[in-house]
Amino acid sequence: MADVTSETLYLRPIPCVGEPVGALPLGGGGVRFSEVEIRRRSGPAERLPAAAIPELVPDGAQRMGLLTAPRQPIAGCALHRPNVMGVVNVTPDSFSDGGQLASAEAAIEHGFSLVEQGADLLDIGGESTRPGAAPVSVAEELGRVMPVIEGLLRKGCPVPISVDTRKAEVARDALGAGAVIFNDVSALTFEPGNLAAAQAADAICLMHAKGTPATMQTDPQYDDVVLDVYDFLADRVAAAEADGIPRDRLIVDPGIGFGKTLEHNLALLRALSIFQGFGCAVLLGVSRKRFLGTLSGVAAASERVAPSVAGAIWGVGQGAQILRVHDVAATVQALKVWQALARDPGAAADGG
């Protein structure tokens, strides 16, 4: 093997089908790998047997530990199996469902219907982050999400609630009212208070985005999109840890569609397993996104159910532990089939 000590190496576990002897569990879940692709910024990638990593790669044993360790439950959700996070957008302008949930009552009802369809978590958002979206004031965003979170909890919502916001004040109030996950598409960078607000969350999702919603799709550029996103998330995980938030409360997300071209999105999805390298749960949000429309030819975002399910199932095959989706019923149905075929231990443990 080429010199492995002089530059940063990135380890991409190669998910495999079947049950090869000695295959290791990716993130402690049902997807296994027995080979690892070693990527570097200069020079070609190469493959090594997973068993050789501890000996041949600096910190190899520790890094294999992070890649394979079972993830701690997040807000009570077991992570050895995929979890479905149902999206509740309380916005007039979200790209696929804006304006559908105009009242808090309609949003609460929608949340309960997603739970009935099998959602393991609900993600409540009051500001669209679609490309070109206009920012929303704190007061406006609070006015949208708080009645929904409070109403869901008052009516006995049986699944954990996540708040999808970039704003410290919105996160603080939502967490104070009983939300338990802070889903921050700015990875705690949007406001200085985000790190402090995150302390109150059971879990925090750190998502990569390039630029702001207003500008992010204007010719995004990367040296190497997978490695650039990896380095960004590594910095954000380190910042959270330095502030006293342990890794088992962190979720990482490559931010599909946030400052990415079609090719960038495809590269990230093909290499998704690399993000298990932090030892955190990985969240994937492809649901109804524009690149799926481009690939499938389905123009209307709300009709991109089949492309979204295909993207979600690809994600679980790469080890993703949480799928953020609009179409919960279709995703849950597809996951049942995937779990049976993959002999996912999560399926057996859950009676599947």
Q: Which residues are catalytic?
A: 289, 324
331 binds ligand HH2 (CB under 6 A): no
144 binds ligand HH2 (CB under 6 A): no
Considering the complex, state which of residue 207 and residue 309 has its C-beta at the smaller distance from ligand HH2.
207
CA 159/CA 155 separation, integer angstroms? 12
Among 48, 75, 79, 87, binds ligand HH2 (CB under 6 A): 87
185 binds ligand HH2 (CB under 6 A): yes
101 binds ligand HH2 (CB under 6 A): no
Q: How far is the CB of 221 from ligand HH2 (least distance, A)?
A: 20
By rule CB under 6 A, what string of x and - marks binding of each residue 258-287 to ligand HH2? -------------------------x-x--
Task: Tell me which residue has its CB nearest to ligand HH2.
Answer: 285
Stretch of 5-13, 171-179, 228-236, 253-261 lying at the interface with ligand HH2 (CB under 6 A): 253-261
Size of residue set near ligand HH2 by CB under 6 A: 21
Among 68, 89, 186, 318, binds ligand HH2 (CB under 6 A): 89
The beta-strand segments (E) located in 153-216 are: 161-164, 181-184, 203-207
307 binds ligand HH2 (CB under 6 A): no
CA 193/CA 195 separation, integer angstroms? 6
Side-chain half-sphere exposure of 222, counting CA atoms within 13 A: 25
95 binds ligand HH2 (CB under 6 A): yes
Token pair for 188: 């705690």
77 binds ligand HH2 (CB under 6 A): no
Q: How far is the CB of 142 from ligand HH2 (least distance, A)?
A: 16
Stretch of 139-147, 251-259, 290-298, 329-337 lying at the interface with ligand HH2 (CB under 6 A): 251-259
Q: What single-letter amino acid sits at 210?
A: K
Non-local (6+) Cβ contacts of 182 within 8 A are: 162, 163, 165, 171, 174, 175, 197, 198, 201, 203, 204, 205
Considering the complex, state which of residue 25 and residue 131 has its C-beta at the smaller distance from ligand HH2.
131
Q: How far is the CB of 327 from ligand HH2 (least distance, A)?
A: 11
CA 346/CA 77 separation, integer angstroms? 12
CA 202/CA 181 separation, integer angstroms? 6
Among 183, 194, 276, 321, binds ligand HH2 (CB under 6 A): 183
According to DSSP, the β-strands at 32-39 and 46-49 are: antiparallel
SS3 content of the chain, % helix, strand, coil (to 5): 40, 15, 40
205 binds ligand HH2 (CB under 6 A): yes
Non-local (6+) Cβ contacts of 302 within 8 A are: 96, 97, 288
Considering the complex, state which of residue 12 and residue 130 has its C-beta at the smaller distance from ligand HH2.
130
For residue 281, give the nearest of 349, 204, 337 by alpha carbon: 204
Strand-pair partners of 33: 15, 24
179 binds ligand HH2 (CB under 6 A): no
**Tokens 């946030």 sit on residue:** 258
114 binds ligand HH2 (CB under 6 A): no
Considering the complex, state which of residue 53 and residue 283 has its C-beta at the smaller distance from ligand HH2.
283
208 binds ligand HH2 (CB under 6 A): no
Among 68, 83, 128, 165, binds ligand HH2 (CB under 6 A): 128
* Distance separating the N- and C-terminal Cα atoms of the chain: 43
CA 303/CA 327 separation, integer angstroms? 10
Question: What are the residues binding ligand HH2 (CB under 6 A)?
Answer: 87, 89, 91, 94-96, 125, 128-130, 164, 183, 185, 205, 207, 253, 255-256, 283, 285, 324
